[in-house]
Structure 1
Amino acid sequence: MLHRWFEKVTAGCARFTGRPAMFALCLLLAGVGIGAYFSNNDHFLNGANLSISIVTLLLLPILQATQNRDGAALQAKLDELISANRRARNEMIGIERDSEDKIERERPDRATTRNQGNSE
């Protein structure tokens, strides 16, 4: 249940961060920060600093969750294309979970791949 709630919240926040309202909010926070800096009031400066830090820390997991979801969707699409293509190696499905060294070993030689494509 918590996982489903987190997905809904992060998806909604990710959609909001791409809208003009978020840009306006960022401009407002930047204005508050600049105003706090020039006000010579330590309480105002600390409050502005805290609010900007909180917004930044809240955006980090939202952006990471969005990136993880986009990456997983892209991998699923690529896996589907690999399984649908008769010439593709099915061993490549799920290779993103392997170590970087193994991925590099499995990577086809670009010159060989290019020559095979030209011969057909």
Structure 2
Amino acid sequence: MAKRSKRRLPQSDRSFFTRLSQRVAHWSGKPQTFFGAAIIIVIWALSGPFFGYNDTWQLVINTSTTIVTFLMVFIIQNSQNRDTAAMQIKLDELILKLEGAREELLDLEELDEEKIEHFRSEFEAMAAKARQTLQKVATEDKAPPSTKK
């Protein structure tokens, strides 16, 4: 049998930034990365007495964390944008395939807040009605046999 490579080959349709952001997002979400960052903080804190807790010692951690945070905002946003867009496409496909589904909901994320709230109110009303029906059925099922219709 031929050996199968466990390494994923990069897709040619992904940009460099997409590949980079996916890798960074993947690694930044790992427990090892968290513990690595925690160890860096502990080492920094323990090094305080050697540097006399001076301004440069504080500046090192402040600058480092600010830079990492600044860059991670863009990585996380890119990842979230892609995930949200992919989920919307998948949901749109499901809506199109469901008989009786309302196709006017396909681009709901593109509507103004006021129009989205109109749809939300409509669905909340349907949910409340469904809960009332369910509660009514549950109440009738628990009623003594002599009071059931």
**TM-score with structure 1 length normalisation?**
0.80
Which residue pairs with 1:23 in the alignment? Answer: 34
Which residue pairs with 2:144 in the alignment? Answer: none
**Shift of residue 95, structure 1, vs aligned partner:** 1.2
Which residue pairs with 2:83 in the alignment? Answer: 70
Of 95-104 and 41-50, more deviation after overlay is shown by: 41-50
**Shift of residue 102, structure 1, vs aligned partner:** 0.8
CA distance in 2, matches of 1:56, 1:41: 23
* Residues matched between the structures, number: 114
**Shift of residue 33, structure 1, vs aligned partner:** 4.4
When you count helix as a share of all residues, which structure comes out higher?
Answer: 1
SS at match of 2:80: helix
**Shift of residue 17, structure 1, vs aligned partner:** 0.8
Residues 42 and 75 from structure 1, CA distance in 2 versus in 1: closer, same or farther, beyond 3 angstroms? same
Residues 99 and 111 from structure 1, CA distance in 2 versus in 1: closer, same or farther, beyond 3 angstroms? closer
Gaps of 5+ in 2: 1-13, 134-149
Paired-residue identity, %: 33
Higher-Rg structure is 2
1:54-65 matched pairs, under 5 angstroms = 54-65=67-78
Residues 46 and 80 from structure 1, CA distance in 2 versus in 1: closer, same or farther, beyond 3 angstroms? same
**TM-score with structure 2 length normalisation?**
0.66
* CA-atom RMSD in angstroms: 2.2
Residues 109 and 11 from structure 1, CA distance in 2 versus in 1: closer, same or farther, beyond 3 angstroms? closer
